[in-house]
Structure 1
Amino acid sequence: MTMVDKPVRGSRSGRPIMALLDLLGRRWTLRVIWELRDGPLSFRALQSACADMSPSVLNQRLAELREALLIEAGEQGYGLSALGRSLLEQFAPLDRWAESWAQAQRVAS
């Protein structure tokens, strides 16, 4: 059974978008993906880049992201897979929207 076939928090449907939002909503997941944006990092370098998160949490997130096919382990450490890079590219429109939203918040206050 794949990650998208299992029921997830907030949804019994197992729909892919719900599975993705559940994964991305877990503590440190987005940070790990973000820190790998420029290339692979060793476990220690990734842990340091993530404000020294605990090794057990980092191991858990890495396992989840590998299961989801978003990262890969190689000779240089952990890096984004093609799917992981594609996901990161999808954040650009959301980032632009968030900047507009923040600006609207500033103007309203």
Structure 2
Amino acid sequence: MTSYGQFCPVAKAMELLDERWTILVIRELLLGSKHFNELRRGVPKMSPALLTKRLRGLERAGVVRRTVVGGRSVYTLTEKGDELAEVVTALSTWGIRWIGELGDADLDPHLLLWDMHRTIPIDQWPRRRTMVQFRFRDVIGKAGTWWLVVDDGQAQVCDFDPGYDVDVAIDTDLRTLTEIWRGDTDWRNALRDNKVDVLAAPSVARQVPGWIGQGNSAAIPRPA
């Protein structure tokens, strides 16, 4: 870590936290990721080598604890790391309120679907295995189609067809679904403006916005 050469506690904290990707790794740990591959899915543009380096740095700093369970490394936050929850929440609130512009480089179907699968309101889904297919009109190739499966109270996101019957297909563009999830718009407006097509029986299609919901940031009030 590079020192700022200041006694200020903000400067001392940032000597650890302002290295590229570090605070996002902590965000993933706060959201429940425990294994290396889970962390990678939350930061898909981060190289495995750099993720390893950041985890080791956080471990040396006493923020992360690494244990081995069943031959696999498990990463959890220490008490010192858990206290960063308020910091990450405050950054998220400030970011959604004041840094609203999304560039094309900010749109990532891998990260979007990964984030969606871990916070969708599963209690709103049918009490049977249910699969929703997402088809992004503006994403070319394999990354343009995703599947979200809820079964036995668990959600799973797949970038390959898991082979189950599709209950609902959602056709949209990546920006629209990202903006719905962030709370920049909502399902009602996106459906009204024909930015989203929900392909299912009418009785099922009406329930889909409740199945998917919106991300945590959607509840944060925005400036006028």
Give the alignment's TM-score, normalised by structure 2: 0.38
SS state at 1:91 partner: helix
1:37–1:85 contact (8 Å) kept in structure 2: yes
Higher Rg? 2
Identity %: 31
Q: Which has the higher contact order (CA 8 A, sep 6+)?
A: 1
Report the AA paired with residue 92 of structure 1: T
Q: Distance in 1 between matches of 2:59 and 2:26?
A: 11
Return the match for 2:85 from 76, 85, 88: 88
- 2:69 matches 1:69: no
Return the match for 2:13 from 13, 20, 42: 20
- 2:23 matches 1:30: yes
SS state at 2:83 partner: helix
Unaligned ranges ≥5, structure 2:
100-221
Give the alignment's TM-score, normalised by structure 1: 0.70
Q: CA 1:94/1:52 → structure 2, altered by over 3 Å: closer, same or farther?
A: closer
Judging by fraction of residues, say which structure has more helix.
1
Report the AA paired with residue 85 of structure 1: D
Q: Distance in 1 between matches of 2:42 and 2:96?
A: 24
**RMSD in angstroms over aligned alpha carbons?**
2.5
Unaligned ranges ≥5, structure 1:
none
Return the match for 1:60 from 53, 59, 71: 53
Judging by fraction of residues, say which structure has more strand.
2
Report the AA paired with residue 78 of structure 1: Y
Report the AA paired with residue 35 of structure 1: E
Alpha-carbon distance, 1:30 to partner: 1.1
